[in-house]
Chain A
């Protein structure tokens, strides 16, 4: 199997779907002539031309809105946000238009659109450019939120997202773009809303998604050396949430740690924690533990910024806690 980067996997998904369906187009800042701020769209302008790979002015609200209108009228836009930090300028368009048009028209229209780009902490960028914003999107009914953690999942899920008839928020991460992984040559799709068991284990369930998956895998390896057999549930899609996959694992291991790089208040992690408590209470041998970002804006200083986020040590400590290991 070919080994490619996360960036290349995303590009392949866009390329294949653009080749498959004339209605699919890519728009955003620097996506065309500059070949993408993070080079995700490299070569696509040459291949598909300026009609389908479109540079926009720096106007997140309105180019996102234009995408929504085009989707409502029958096209299938992929809107690239240079980062999710700037998507806050488009939040009204996503929440009030993309998520609501179908509802407030009584089902007369659908909005098949993908908003994608890097989300979450990067490095040395301080607080406006390093934040994980998925919780505020997952909060809104009418939206789908997809968050893969490997190149394989990214490609299969992005293809499914482009073919989906709803607004999809597709989370990538700057630091993940150069991550490598096996991706088959032949076409495949991964269904939205299906979690994946990334590591089978008996002793504890660690629920995670997106970039922290790597930290969790490293922690699981170290835990194995300590004789602790962790099971890793990679959500892959935040909304709709594959609740059964989480419960199945927790009912087997009787212990649960959730690793999520968002802020802890009203977050994906806190919601999953509540669901596990409500639905697996009788199976739990310890309270659910969360490993999240500290509830602070991201500092520029590197030592501080790393310590704000989930770390391998924090994950191991949380596992030890739910297993009563001193």
Chain B
């Protein structure tokens, strides 16, 4: 088993982050129901292994992360303070974006998390621009650019893949294929069903990755980073995953069957990782319960923090527009 090859502390770290995201998102759904959070709120439940496994392969002192609007998981995996994330969802002045960004615009520039971007695929060239800066300054870093299966047909994805290759930018494009672009199954709107073949059009190395296994995601991302650095090329990964909730909080997800959802729940990234660790004798049920309880406490505290935080002042609407 793969887990045996790793230090327990590292594995516990991955488990802890996945649990934090899961509990954070469950709490977000609850707070949305209570109307503490408004607007569009896209939850990451089911996809935790993707952000956690891939970001674990980074050094965020020199590497960067950009993603689309389903961004809570990536922000937390980059180390964003859960209090700042929850306060942002509540629209408070203490939120990571001072209550101006909301669910879709989680930013933590210090941790090299550059959003949280709301236009489907719109951030893909932006991420390549960050990679352009790494190359221009001859810095030793890599950019992870996440987007969904819905974004892959946008022109900017293909335009950016082309430029990333002609300039060999240090970027890993990650298509998180959760199988539904909003309510549309990806097979209905794509001429190919294995997205990784799209890499060949631009001579970019590309392959599919099982996104339900956090260690697989970690190892494949490591492999991709090695390729970026040693072969001087961008890489494209299609990481196959599944979201348990609807597209956003307002979506009951009637376009898929109960059986399909149940089948995926048996592949839950947290459950399978927990089971692997337990079978390898690296985790006890008590340790798991304790770790989970700790995440629930952190999330409960973030709600308390958000509740007690100040609303932004009215004058704040004129701030943070021009530098």
Q: Which residues of A contact B (CB under 8 A)?
A: 25, 51, 56-57, 59, 61-75, 92-93, 96-97, 101-112, 141-142, 144, 165-166
Contacts and interface: CB of A to CB of B under 8 A. Distances in A.
B126 A72 contact: yes
Nearest to B166: A57
Interface in B113-144: 114-119, 122-134, 136-137
A63 B322 contact: no
B116 A104 contact: yes
Given A56-B163, A63-B163, A65-B156, A70 B129 contact: yes
Contacts of B107: 104-106, 108-109
Given A67-B129, A73-B64, A97 B163 contact: no
Interface residues of B, number: 47
B101 to A, nearest CB: 4
A71 to B, nearest CB: 7
Interface in B135-160: 136-137, 155-156, 159-160
B20 interface: no
Interface stretch (B37-45, B92-100, B175-183, B247-255): B92-100
Nearest to A27: B132
Nearest to B133: A73
B162 interface: yes
A106 B88 CA distance: 10
Nearest to A143: B322
Contact of A141 (B105, B156, B321): B321
A163 B134 CA distance: 21
Given A61-B156, A166-B322, A105 B118 contact: no
Given A65-B156, A141-B321, A57 B162 contact: yes
A144 B321 CA distance: 11
B169 to A, nearest CB: 9
B286 interface: no
A96 B68 CA distance: 13
A23 to B, nearest CB: 8
The interface centre, meaning the residue of A57, A106, A141 with most chain B CB atoms within 10 A of its CB, is A106
29 contacts: A57-B163, A63-B125, A63-B163, A65-B126, A65-B156, A66-B129, A66-B160, A68-B126, A69-B127, A70-B136, A72-B126, A72-B129, A75-B133, A93-B125, A93-B126, A97-B122, A102-B323, A103-B320, A104-B107, A104-B116, A104-B118, A105-B97, A105-B109, A105-B114, A106-B95, A107-B320, A108-B108, A109-B109, A111-B323
Given A65-B124, A93-B122, A102 B320 contact: yes
Contacts of A103: 100, 320-321
A65 B130 contact: no
B129 A105 contact: no
Nearest to A62: B159
Interface in B71-96: 95-96
A62 B319 contact: no
B136 A69 contact: no
Contacts of A142: 321-322
Contact of B114 (A66, A72, A165): A72
